[in-house]
Amino acid sequence: MNEVFPGVLRDEAGLLTKNLVPGTRVYGEKLLDIDGSEYRTWNPYRSKLASAVMSGLASFPFGRDTRVLYLGSATGTTVSHISDLAVDGVVACVEFAPRSMRDFLAVSRARRNVVPILGDAKAPLDYAPFVGTVDVVYQDVAQSEQADILVRNLPFLRKGGHVMLCIKARSIDVTKDPEEVFRRERAVLAPFIDITEVIDIGAYEKDHSFVVGVKR
Ligand SMILES: C[S@@+](CC[C@H](N)C(=O)[O-])C[C@H]1O[C@@H](n2cnc3c(N)ncnc32)[C@H](O)[C@@H]1O
C-alpha cells in the first residue's frame, strides 16, 4: 500500500480514498477497513480522474481545503471521491440532466462539502451566485464545444488555479482524427491556460484525453 497523492492510496486492488461518509457506497464500490479507517475503492473505468491517475497524472490539486467547481457531475461517481479528499473544502457541482440530478441529490445530501446545482455549464451567470472563487475547475461534459465551455467558466478560477478537462473526441466530431480534435480543443484553452499535462486515458476510455493546466 502506498500513498500516490495526499489522501489517495494504491494497493493491489487499485486506488482508494478514505470514505467521508463511513458505511455508505455511491456506485457499488468496495469498502475496506485499513487501520481502523474505512476506504472506498476508486474505479478507473468509472472515473476519468482515477483513470488519469492510473495513466501517470503528475499533478493533483486536491487537498483538504480545496474549492472545486465541477462541471458535469452526473450521478456523482468522481465527485464523491473528490469530496472524500476536500474534507474541509467545497465541491460545487453543475449538472443539467434532471434524471442524473435526482440520483445525485441523494449523494450530495450525505456529503456536507458537496453543493448540487441544476444548471447548464454553458450559462455560468445563472449559477454564479452559488459559486465563489475556486482553486480547481474540473470538467467532464461530453458535449461539443468542450474547451469553450471551460473558458466560459474561467472567471470562477483564481489565478494560478488548476483546470482539469476531460475531452471526448467523438462528442465533438466523429469524422475527425481524435488527435486533431484534441489539438483544436487545447488551442482554445491556450490564450488563458498554461497546459502542464496531457494524459492519454485511452486504456480506460476510448478516444479521451485528460488535459491539466494552470490559469495565467
Ligand atoms: C460523462 S458524464 C460525467 C461523468 C462524471 N463526471 C463522473 O466522472 O462521475 C457527462 C455529464 O455531463 C452532463 N452535461 C453535459 N452537458 C452539460 C452542460 N452543458 N451542463 C451541465 N451538465 C452537462 C451530462 O448530463 C452528463 O451527466
The Cα 201–Cα 209 span in angstroms is: 6
Rounded distance from Cα 140 to ligand 1 centre (Å): 6
Residues 6 or more apart whose Cβ sits within 8 Å of residue 205: 48, 51, 168
Rounded distance from Cα 37 to ligand 1 centre (Å): 31
Residue minimizing CA distance to atom 4 of ligand 1: 74
Rounded distance from Cα 145 to ligand 1 centre (Å): 13
pTM for the model stands at 0.97
φ and ψ at residue 211, rounded to 5 degrees: -110, 135
The domain covering 44-215 belongs, at the CATH homologous superfamily level, to Vaccinia Virus protein VP39 (3.40.50.150)
- Give the model's pLDDT for residue 117: 98
The Cα 150–Cα 90 span in angstroms is: 19
Ligand 1 lining (C-beta closer than 6 Å):
47-48, 72-74, 77-78, 94-97, 100, 120-122, 140-143
- Give the model's pLDDT for residue 30: 96
- Give the model's pLDDT for residue 12: 85
Rounded distance from Cα 106 to ligand 1 centre (Å): 17
DSSP assignment of 134-155, as one string? EEEEEE---SSSHHHHHHHTGG
Residue minimizing CA distance to atom 25 of ligand 1: 97
Rounded distance from Cα 28 to ligand 1 centre (Å): 20
The Cα 83–Cα 210 span in angstroms is: 20
Residues 6 or more apart whose Cβ sits within 8 Å of residue 86: 62, 63, 64, 65, 66, 67, 68, 113
Q: Domain spans of the chain?
A: 44-215
The vertex-25 CA angle with 19 and 31, nearest 5°, equals 60
Per-run averaged pLDDT (10 residues), the chain, 216 residues: 94 93 97 95 97 97 98 98 98 98 97 98 97 97 92 98 93 85 94 97 92 97
CB burial of residue 197 (10 Å; 0-12, 13-18, 19+):
middle
- Give the model's pLDDT for residue 144: 87
Q: Give the neighbor-by-neighbor strand order of the sheet with 67-71.
A: 114-118, 90-95, 67-71, 134-139, 157-168, 208-215, 193-200
- Give the model's pLDDT for residue 22: 98
The Cα 78–Cα 15 span in angstroms is: 13
